[in-house]
């Protein structure tokens, strides 16, 4: 199984993370949540918001292609880059991934646990 490497994020994983057994066929958001990296997912993984936006620094081409709905949502994401994906829609293939979770999201009313 591919590795999912998460770059350090001040709130979610200050040291970064390495997930050695990221399951092919699952989306990035599911794998992060399963490993206690609490990425925002306000729409419950239904591609209806941009809170799970991530930037795939390595392995981008191994992911499934973004569909039109995801592309439209990404246009609204804060800090959009050419390798941006909604993690709830980015299905892990067979290559290792390096993912950056942006510091900010559009969800200004973020709930604190």
Split at pLDDT 50, 70, 90, the class of 106 is: low
Structure tokens at 103: 């510091």
What is the pTM (predicted TM-score) of this model? 0.92
* Structural contact between residues 93 and 2, judged by C-beta atoms closer than 8 angstroms: yes
* Structural contact between residues 97 and 56, judged by C-beta atoms closer than 8 angstroms: yes
Domain range annotation of the chain: 4-100
Sign of CA dihedral 39, 44, 46, 51: negative
What is the per-residue pLDDT across 43-64, written as a single tens digit (0 to 9) for each?
999 999 999 999 999 999 999 9
CA dist 13 and 65 (Å) reads 27
What is the per-residue pLDDT across 18-30, written as a single tens digit (0 to 9) for each?
999 999 999 999 9
The structure tokens 């306000």 sit at 42
How is domain 4-100 classified at the architecture level of CATH?
Answer: Roll (3.10)
Q: In what order do the strands lie in the sheet with 17-19?
A: 17-19, 4-6, 97-100, 53-58, 84-86
Cα 40 from chain centre: 9
The structure tokens 């699952």 sit at 26
Which regions of 1-113 does DSSP assign to beta strands (E)? 4-6, 17-19, 53-58, 84-86, 97-100
Split at pLDDT 50, 70, 90, the class of 111 is: very low
């Amino acid at each position: 199984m591919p590795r999912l490497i998460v770059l350090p994020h001040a709130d979610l994983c200050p040291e970064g993370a390495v997930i050695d057994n990221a399951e092919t066929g699952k989306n990035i958001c599911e794998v992060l949540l399963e490993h206690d990296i609490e990425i925002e997912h306000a729409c419950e993984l239904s591609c209806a918001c941009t809170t799970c936006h991530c930037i795939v620094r390595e392995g981008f081409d191994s992911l499934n292609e973004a569909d039109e709905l995801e592309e439209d949502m990404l246009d609204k994401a804060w800090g959009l880059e050419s390798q941006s994906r909604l993690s709830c829609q980015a299905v892990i293939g067979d290559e290792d991934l390096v993912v950056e979770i942006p510091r900010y999201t559009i969800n200004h009313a973020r709930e604190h646990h």
